[in-house]
Amino acid sequence: MFGPVMSSSVALSLRCAASGCQGIRRSIATVISGNKTSKLVRNRLKEEVDKMTSQFSGFRPGLVVLQVGDRDDSNLYISSKLRAAAEIGIDAKHVRLPNTATEDEVLRSIMSINENPSVHGLIVQLPLDSVNHIDSELITNSVSPEKDVDGLSCINAGKLSRGDLSNCFIPCTPNGCMELIRQTGVSVAGKHAVVIGRSKIVGAPMHDLLLWNHATVTTCHSKTPDLPGQVGRADILVVGAGRAEMVRGDWLKDGAVVIDCGINHVPDETKAGGKRVVGDVHYASANQRAGFITPVPGGVGPMTVAMLMENTVQSAQRFLLRR
Ligand code: NDP
């Protein structure tokens, strides 16, 4: 879709002549920038929305972010989604229900948004922050599949698992990972891909997406024996485990594409706030072995928001075609 977006200090190959090992490549990986790639995606989407607006007399894609309660981390994620939407020209609204909301009240709110024709995308910010018991699976599956731009309902997950990619919404984080893999120019077809994690949001849809892009896929989880051995067979590795710096550089196959979804806060006295964010991959050592690598932060994170916008614009386009 776009030409490669790489860090300038990239693709530096060193021969370790000093130690006499000519021919053995010690490389510094090419860094795949999620910041730059997501900016390109957002620019393209803005152009598409401008076109829609002028062609269909003021029409704009509509997005609703439904929140229950008032978690600080959710507030932060929501504000970055609303900001990105505003930049692109998507009409985004934040609907917040109090933390005393019952399951019935949340369902009623979803039903009324499902029926609103000016809303093309509806996401329910998880986790739900309610004093009442609310079945989040039921809530996720109550979002109309045509508006489920997070791609988390069983209908969309089922279509993805069957390979019906052009007819479903692909969850935003795996979709962003695929876009970053495309940036490397490495073809997925025929490669051996390893995914660490099998969650509904990251690991399981990532497996499906790689599979239907014709990779041979191994999915690992907390009960997988010999994780380093599995990782060592990966031409493409996607990690979504939530374990700080778990994957070490010496586990990797030389030249692998490494996509790190992890967001982990670790103590760091040198930083304001006393902590910093690291991925699930030990970046310094992986950088010596991988062919391509995503940084944390600035890798998968910004792509997740961009792909939410992509799904919303796509949903609005499908709506216009159905009219
Ligand atoms: P979950 O906790 O839902 O899933 C983690 C998965 O990793 C599980 O399948 C678990 O296995 C597996 N796992 C945990 N520990 C190990 C281990 N030691 N070895 C092998 N597998 C392991 O997390 P999420 O999928 O929601 O998130 C994963 C990471 O991605 C987190 O750091 C999260 O913050 C980040 N994230 C980032 C996003 C972004 O926009 N960048 C968006 C969403 C998530 P099992 O199933 O057996 O328990």
Lateral strand order in the sheet of 30-31: 30-31, 292-293, 257-260, 236-239, 192-196, 216-220
Instruction: Name the DSSP class of 126.
Output: S
Strand partners for 25? 15
Instruction: Output the pLDDT for position 5.
Output: 62
Q: pLDDT band for position 59 (50/70/90)?
A: very high
**pLDDT at 228 > cutoff 70:** yes
pLDDT digits (tens, 9 = 90+) for 276-309: 999 999 999 999 999 999 999 999 999 999 999 9
Paired tokens of 17: 């002549």
The highest-level CATH class for domain 59-151 is: alpha beta
Please tell me the least confidently modeled range out of 19-28, 65-74, 155-164.
19-28
Measured in whole angstroms, the distance separating CA 219 from the mean position of its chain's CA atoms is: 17
Please tell me the least confidently modeled range out of 4-8, 115-119, 147-151.
4-8
For 72-106, b/e burial (b = at least 16 CB within 10 A) is eebeebbeebbebbeebbbbbeebbbeeebebebb
State the average pLDDT over residues 54-73.
Answer: 97
Domain ranges of the chain: 59-151, 171-301
Fold type of domain 171-301 = Rossmann fold (3.40.50)
pLDDT digits (tens, 9 = 90+) for 237-265: 999 999 999 999 999 999 999 999 999 99
Query: Looking at ligand 1, which residue's alpha carbon is closest to its atom 37?
Result: 261
Mutation test residue for ligand 1: of 136, 200, 202, 278, the one with most atoms within 8 Å of CB: 202
Ligand 1: centre distance to CA 299 (Å): 16
Residues in the chain: 323
Q: Are 236 and 271 in contact (CB under 8 A)?
A: no
Instruction: Output the pLDDT for position 230.
Output: 98
Q: Which residues are catalytic?
A: 81
Instruction: Output the pLDDT for position 84.
Output: 97
pLDDT digits (tens, 9 = 90+) for 172-202: 999 999 999 999 999 999 999 999 999 999 9
**pLDDT at 15 > cutoff 50:** no
Instruction: Output the pLDDT for position 232.
Output: 98
**231 to each of 30, 95, 315, how far by Cα in Å?**
19, 42, 36
**pLDDT at 2 > cutoff 70:** no
Instruction: Output the pLDDT for position 287.
Output: 97
- β pairing state of 264-267 and 275-278: antiparallel
State the average pLDDT over residues 222-246.
Answer: 98
Closest CA to 167 of 51, 9, 292, 315: 315
Instruction: Output the pLDDT for position 6.
Output: 55
Q: Is the CB of 203 under 6 A from ligand 1?
A: yes
Q: Is the CB of 261 under 6 A from ligand 1?
A: yes
What gap in Å lies between CA 32 and CA 281, rounded to an integer?
14
Instruction: Output the pLDDT for position 11.
Output: 41
**pLDDT at 4 > cutoff 70:** no
What pTM does this model have?
0.93
pLDDT digits (tens, 9 = 90+) for 21-51: 344 445 699 999 999 999 999 999 999 999 9
What gap in Å lies between CA 268 and CA 274, rounded to an integer?
5
Instruction: Output the pLDDT for position 23.
Output: 41
**pLDDT at 8 > cutoff 70:** no
**96 to each of 104, 123, 190, 212, how far by Cα in Å?**
15, 12, 46, 37
Instruction: Output the pLDDT for position 323.
Output: 87
| Average pLDDT of the chain to the nearest whole number | 93
Ligand 1: centre distance to CA 198 (Å): 7
What gap in Å lies between CA 209 and CA 186, rounded to an integer?
15
Task: Mention every residue, 6+ apart, whose C-beta is less than 8 A from residue 177.
Answer: 206, 209, 238, 259, 261, 300, 303
**258 to each of 138, 153, 240, 292, how far by Cα in Å?**
34, 28, 11, 6
State the average pLDDT over residues 85-99.
Answer: 98
Ligand 1: centre distance to CA 278 (Å): 14
